[in-house]
Amino acid sequence: MSVVISVRVREDVKKFLEESGIDVSEEIRRFLEELYIKVKMRKYIDKWDRLLDSVKPSEKGFSVESVRGDRESH
C-alpha cells in the first residue's frame, strides 16, 4: 500500500528540473526510499552495538589455549 505525500517547492525549481529531463516525483520517491533504508539500517546497527556492548570479551590467552586443546585432543 502506498500513501500520497505533498511537497511544496518553488515553481521555477520544478520547472527547471522538468526541463532538464528529471522526473521530480520519481527522484523524491527514490530519495525517500533510500532514506528509509539508511534509517532502518542505522537502527539495526545501534541495536547490534548495544548487544555487543553487553558481551564480555574472552580472557587473555583463551583462543591459544582453546586451539592447543583442540589439537591435542586429536
* Per-domain boundaries in the chain: 11-72
Number of residues that this document lists for the chain: 74
What pLDDT score does 62 carry?
87
What pLDDT score does 39 carry?
98
HSE-CB at 33 with a 13 A cutoff on CA atoms is 8
What pLDDT score does 50 carry?
93
What pLDDT score does 48 carry?
95
Q: What is the mean pLDDT of each run of 10 residues along the chain (74 residues)?
A: 94 98 97 98 96 87 87 81
Rounded Cα–Cα distance for residues 21 and 63 (Å): 60
